[in-house]
Amino acid sequence: MNIDKASKEYIKTMPSLPTSLIKILEVCDHPQTSPVDLNNIISLDPVLVGRVLKLINSAYCGLGQSVKSLTRAIIMLGVNTIKNLALSTTAIAHLSGKASPGLNMEAFWRHSLCVGVSAKLLARKRGINPYMTEEYFTAGFLHDIGKIPMNAILSKEYLMTIGKADTEQKPLFEIEQETLGLNHCSIGAMITASWKLKGAVGDAIMYHHDFDEYTGDNKDILYSVAIANSFTSNSEIGFSGNCHPKPLPSFAWEALNISSDILGEIEQIVCSEIKKAEIFLKVDRL
């Protein structure tokens, strides 16, 4: 089977992002975007309104009060946070039905949640603006979505590929390339192109294993996701098939001005934060 052609065909069957979300992503690229602008777009999509309000009133956001007004929610959480909440919930809704007998999807999504949560916690520890930390979560949460087409198209072969990576004690993306001719970052790039995902989230999907070759403007988020991904795999939280992650180069730590000691600090709270973030896996019921 030509996995490149099969992947492209599979991605064509994936639902397109709703027009409302595309407009949200576009309008949020402008620094002058106001809560009213965002409210005017989201309010036209009742499903999206329901998802956002459900999330806002969940333990994940931790506001401690009931918020029924979308405009108030946007003001309280910020335009960037609302954008990323909308993107995360829509993406998972479009991908959650793509299960197959290969990679265990429950374990896969737990891994994804942990990477998102850990990247966000790293950002918090480093004093990143709270209005920006949700983008760290979204980039981490969605970083491995390229594995979903591979798992669906070649479930048996992909399971064997995962086994080979473990036996040879090599990073999974290297064995994917060697065995299947493509890796999940390449297929993730197809999804980002299809969905027109730009910025840090798209870059994290495409470059979280090749971040040493990355020359774009989102290094801070990309390196945070790479560190969070390594931490999650080494901690065996969930399972994404990558039992032997590539060692992180020193420049990733230096660029963020942190050391590996910070992982011990977030380890104490990561499981409770994952529990809160599990609301994202229930979007079909939102």
Please, are residues 119 and 113 in contact by the beta-carbon 8 Å criterion?
Answer: no
Cβ contacts of 57 within 8 Å, gap of 6 or more: 63, 66, 67
DSSP-assigned states of every residue in the chain: --HHHHHHHHHHHSPPPPHHHHHHHHHTTSTT--HHHHHHHHTT-HHHHHHHHHHHTSTTT--SS----HHHHHHHH-HHHHHHHHHHHHHHHHHTT---SSS-HHHHHHHHHHHHHHHHHHHHHTT--TTTHHHHHHHHHTTTTTHHHHHHHSHHHHHHHHHHHHHTT--HHHHHHHHHS--HHHHHHHHHHHHT--HHHHHHHHHSSSGGG--SS-HHHHHHHHHHHHHHHHHT-S--S-SSPPPPPHHHHHHHT--THHHHHHHTTHHHHHHHHGGGGGGGG-
pLDDT at residue 100, as a whole number:
63
Note the CATH number of domain 99-286.
1.10.3210.10
Domain ranges of the chain: 15-95, 99-286
pLDDT at residue 51, as a whole number:
86
Cβ contacts of 160 within 8 Å, gap of 6 or more: 179
pLDDT at residue 18, as a whole number:
85
pLDDT means per 10 residues, the chain with 286 residues, are 76 84 88 88 89 89 86 88 90 71 86 98 95 95 94 88 95 95 94 91 96 94 97 95 92 95 94 94 67
pLDDT at residue 202, as a whole number:
96
